[in-house]
Amino acid sequence: MTGFSTRAIHDGNPNDPGTGAVIPPLHLTSTFVQDGVGKLRSEYEYSRSGNPTRTALQETLASLEAGATAYAFASGLAAEDALIRAHTRPGDTIVIGNDAYGGTYRLIDQVYRHWGVENRPVDFTDLDAVRTAVAETKPKLLWVETPSNPLLRITDIAAVAEIAHLAGALLVVDNTFATPYLQQPITLGADFVVHSLTKYLGGHSDAVGGAVIVRDAELGEPIGFLQNASGGALSPFDSWLFSRGIKTLSARMRTHSDNGEAIVAAIADHPAVSAIHYPGLESHPGHEIAAKQQRRFGGMVSLQVRGGADAARKLVESTRVFQLAESLGGVESLIELPAAMTHASVSGTELEVPADLVRLSVGIEDSEDLVADLLQALDQLG
């Protein structure tokens, strides 16, 4: 098999045999002409069911995540929704990380619970707690995010895969933060990988999309069925944007990781900072596992400040290069206050995040500019 960066550029993206165009054409069409009833020219008949531009993206994703097949959806949550609907039934339980992405927990707790699918939040960094939750609830799915959003906790994927499989359950890993460049959960035993393509895979903050990649084709069949039957499929144009973004994934992730490390080194000892969460730090409780299962540590950093929630709010409103916005994973640096923004939907639940937590999505600008910007904002906290 060729290397990761070569596959990111070439797999799923053959040149166009008809014209020689280096980039495969963008098939902006809803339907495909038939030469007689049911006589299709290729496998395609209608773009909800299948479109060559979406197929190209799905092939690239399956290759990069070492999966059998991939399915692209109109958002990360639409991808998660199809996976859950395909692989759970009323009476089943999902064991989910107690610091999962707020939107994921909202889907599982506020939508699926009404359809009889129960959930049990657990701290996946505590394997005994995972074993207990699995023994008590006999779940259908275990749902892990590592590094987690927004606390950057690290879960040992191989260890949790073993616990899941011993209990006859399937393991889902949300690989949005790490991307397949940093870690490939299927090679560590996961059955499904989910992505918000919106984030690092797209990388340019210009489209919303999601995907499920499956370990073997059989697990994917009911997801592919739902992609057509309930229709959350990704559009051709957005598929094309994501294919374009993925070509630079390796280069971007290396710079995100360089800049993340530079920022952590520059602000860790600042008097206004009370805690910093970054798996690249040797003092991070998940550092050793992250070093084992990840290639680098990425560009997501979160920190807590001494002045509490008010100081955190002041910090996110005082940066100039870091822009105040939700989302992450783009080339531009973003800063946000999870308790009031991305994770507001989980306030009052077991997944509530600290009010003084600030999350950085470190972009690929010059690290000197990013460091100077954060230092001037932190200095204002006194």
What single letter denotes the amino acid at residue 156? D
Of 29-37, 169-177, 234-242, 359-367, which part binds ligand PLP (CB under 6 A)? 169-177
174 binds ligand PLP (CB under 6 A): yes
Residue numbers 35-74 binding ligand PLP by CB under 6 A:
none
Q: State the catalytic residue, choosing from 85, 140, 199, 295.
A: 199
Q: Which is nearer to ligand PLP, 201 or 305 (CB)?
A: 201
CB-closest chain residue to ligand PLP: 76
75 binds ligand PLP (CB under 6 A): yes
CA angle 362, 368, 372 (to 5 degrees): 85
- Respond yes or no: is residue 247 known to be catalytic: no
Minimum CB–partner distance for residue 81 and ligand PLP (Å): 9
What spatial distance separates the first Cα and last Cα of the chain, rounded to whole Å?
A: 54
Minimum CB–partner distance for residue 9 and ligand PLP (Å): 24
Minimum CB–partner distance for residue 196 and ligand PLP (Å): 3
Q: How far apart are CA 210 and CA 235, in angstroms?
A: 11
Q: Count the residues of the shown chain that bind ligand PLP, applying the rule CB under 6 A.
A: 16
Binding residue for ligand PLP, selected from 150, 210, 220, 232, defined by CB under 6 A: 210
Minimum CB–partner distance for residue 222 and ligand PLP (Å): 20
Binding residue for ligand PLP, selected from 52, 76, 232, 299, defined by CB under 6 A: 76
**Up-side HSE of residue 352: CA atoms within 13 Å toward CB?**
7
**CB distance 217 to 69 below 8 Å:** yes
- Respond yes or no: is residue 200 known to be catalytic: no
**CB distance 176 to 199 below 8 Å:** yes
The candidate with the shortest Cα–Cα distance to 68, out of 221, 217, 227, 184, is 217
Minimum CB–partner distance for residue 61 and ligand PLP (Å): 14
Q: How far apart are CA 346 and CA 180, in angstroms?
A: 27
Binding residue for ligand PLP, selected from 199, 215, 296, 343, defined by CB under 6 A: 199
Question: What is the pattern of x (binds ligand PLP, CB under 6 A) and - over residues 103-142?
Answer: xx--------------------------------------
Of 100-108, 124-132, 263-271, 307-315, which part binds ligand PLP (CB under 6 A)? 100-108
Q: Which backbone phi and psi does 300 adopt, to 5 degrees?
A: -95, 130
202 binds ligand PLP (CB under 6 A): no
Residues whose CB is less than 8 angstroms from the CB of residue 40 and which lie 6 or more positions away in sequence, other chains included: 32, 34
Strand partners, 277: 302
Minimum CB–partner distance for residue 355 and ligand PLP (Å): 20
Minimum CB–partner distance for residue 177 and ligand PLP (Å): 6
- Respond yes or no: is residue 369 known to be catalytic: no
Q: Which is nearer to ligand PLP, 198 or 227 (CB)?
A: 198
- Respond yes or no: is residue 101 known to be catalytic: yes
Q: Which active-site residues does the annotation give?
A: 48, 101, 174, 199
Task: Enumerate binding residues for ligand PLP (CB under 6 A).
Answer: 75-77, 101, 103-104, 145, 149, 174, 176-177, 196, 198-199, 208, 210
